[in-house]
Structure 1
Amino acid sequence: MMTPACIGADGRSVIIAIDHALYSWPCRGLEDRKSIISAANAAGADAMIASYGTIRDFRRDFGRVKPILKLDLTSVTLGGHYPLTEYVMAYGLDDAERLGVSTVLNFIQLGAPFELEALRQSGRLAAECDRRGFTYLCEIMPVESAMFPDPEAPEAMVAACRTGQELGAHVIKTTMPVPSAEIAAA
């Protein structure tokens, strides 16, 4: 497998996420998108997760930072908290192609009541990315539920990573387990 464009040549990557303003406001520190993109360039970030509007409006400013298009969205909340809400696809690979983006992302919440639909959408997205030559970055995290009473447990993180890999993701984004040293044992 070739190294995805959002991963550095050394196999490591610094990816900045500025997509949270799409569904939660206010997002302190994300008010000035152009400045954030410029700072990421200056700092040597490899990629940046952003909304359709941010990539469209500031595509030239990304420079060497590879934009990653967030394809899904959820209900907007106020106050910077993230309640358990369903994420649905809003954009597709045609939109990513038009924006000059080679990596796309969506979000799966394992253990949520709407998990199965998110998995189905993600499987279809992974297959379409393979057909069309896009990199699929799967953001997948367990949520507190009967299946995952401790969503930060190492076993929960491993389940998330394995599920993303089995779906066909090229890159996985998830949270660190607590304690992080136990990830290898899980």
Structure 2
Amino acid sequence: MQHHSAIGAGKLRRMRRMFGADGRSVFVAIDHAAYMGEGPPLGEPMREIAAGKPDAILATWHLARAYADVFARSGLVLRVDGGSSELGDMPKNDLNQIMHRAEEALKIGADCVVVLAFPGAPDEDQSLLRLARLVTECETLGLPVMAEMIPGGWGQAVPWTAENVARAARIGAELGADVVKTVCPGPPEEFAKVAEACPVPVVALGGPKMKTEDDVVAVARGVVRAGGAGVAFGRNVWGSEKPRALVERLREAVHGA
């Protein structure tokens, strides 16, 4: 019994590192350069993001290590899958692999790990099996797993309708994910169908750069009003001229404080 309660305590503490007492979170994704080879600017912009006090960051191994002190007050979600880049032609097939194991993620201070999964894609079995195996590995360590559920994959083999996104989110939860990150299928109010279908906290990813920062904040507010647990925004934050101010606005929109 002691073993199971220890696992439960570990997960609880790590989840609380990412989510506030209200069960909501502002995640800032800065893991793009691992496949783009460019993206989040290094140095002072990272400190600006951290100064806005995001609840957690989605980061690569390098950023987790190099900016450990900068983001020490934020939860760390480590990207553990990859293996393809935009330097070549983006492959149509799922070529991703698990690059860092759960115990390795713990050693670098991760509160959670994140992987992509593509239900509805022609080779969905590969990513769904990766997710399930990672979940079972992390369960014995008390390490939460975030599943980034993309129905049909980035090529949208199935359309990103509210129903399909909701089903993808539910699949992620059923395979054991503690948190689901997924697309917002249209206006933020559409996220209500996704939140209702998913039995674990579900957050909306930001996707392409929005026209204005008011739009970014409005989406975050709308997602939470629809029952979402928050947002995981990347280029909409690190692409901002004033990322600290934007993170602070997102915190207000998500937590209402």
TM-score normalized by the length of structure 2: 0.63
In structure 2, give the amino acid aligned to 1:62: F
CA distance in 1, matches of 2:192, 2:23: 19
CA distance in 2, matches of 1:156, 1:102: 29
The alignment status of 1:133 with 2:142, answered yes or no, reads yes
CA distance in 1, matches of 2:193, 2:76: 34
Change in Cα spacing, 1:37 to 1:66, as seen in structure 2 (3 Å) is farther
- The answer on whether the counterparts of 1:154 and 1:179 sit within 8 Å (CA) in structure 2 is no
CA distance in 2, matches of 1:94, 1:184: 35
CA distance in 1, matches of 2:61, 2:171: 26
SS of match in other structure, 2:68: helix
What residue is the counterpart of 2:185 in the other structure?
Answer: 177
Q: Please, which of 29, 35, 54 is the counterpart of residue 17 of structure 1?
A: 29
The alpha-carbon deviation at position 184 of structure 1 amounts to 3.9
- Work out the percentage of aligned pairs sharing the same amino acid: 31
- The answer on whether the counterparts of 1:46 and 1:65 sit within 8 Å (CA) in structure 2 is yes
- The answer on whether the counterparts of 1:109 and 1:115 sit within 8 Å (CA) in structure 2 is yes
CA distance in 2, matches of 1:64, 1:182: 32
SS of match in other structure, 1:60: coil
How many matched pairs?
178
Structure showing the higher strand proportion among its residues: 1
In structure 2, give the amino acid aligned to 1:53: H
- The answer on whether the counterparts of 2:32 and 2:38 sit within 8 Å (CA) in structure 1 is no
Segments of 5+ residues of structure 2 without an aligned counterpart are: 1-7, 195-257
Counterparts of 1:1-186 in structure 2, within 5 Å, are 2=12, 4=15, 5-27=17-39, 30-32=40-42, 34-78=43-87, 84-86=92-94, 87-143=96-152, 144-145=156-157, 148=158, 150=159, 152-184=160-192
CA RMSD of aligned residues (A): 2.2
In structure 1, give the amino acid aligned to 2:41: E
The alpha-carbon deviation at position 53 of structure 1 amounts to 1.6
4+ residue segments displaced more than 3 Å: 81-85, 182-186
CA distance in 1, matches of 2:80, 2:104: 9
The alpha-carbon deviation at position 179 of structure 1 amounts to 4.3
In structure 1, give the amino acid aligned to 2:132: G
The alpha-carbon deviation at position 108 of structure 1 amounts to 0.8
In structure 2, give the amino acid aligned to 1:13: S
Deviating more after overlay: 82-91 vs 59-68: 82-91
Segments of 5+ residues of structure 1 without an aligned counterpart are: none
Deviations 1:67-110 (A, max 9, x none): 1110001311149x966452211111121111011211111122
The alpha-carbon deviation at position 131 of structure 1 amounts to 1.1
The alpha-carbon deviation at position 177 of structure 1 amounts to 0.8
Deviations 1:112-163 (A, max 9, x none): 2331011111111112222111011111111322xx2x1x200111011100
In structure 2, give the amino acid aligned to 1:166: E
- The answer on whether the counterparts of 1:136 and 1:169 sit within 8 Å (CA) in structure 2 is yes
Structure showing the higher helix proportion among its residues: 2
CA distance in 2, matches of 1:185, 1:117: 27
CA distance in 2, matches of 1:109, 1:36: 32
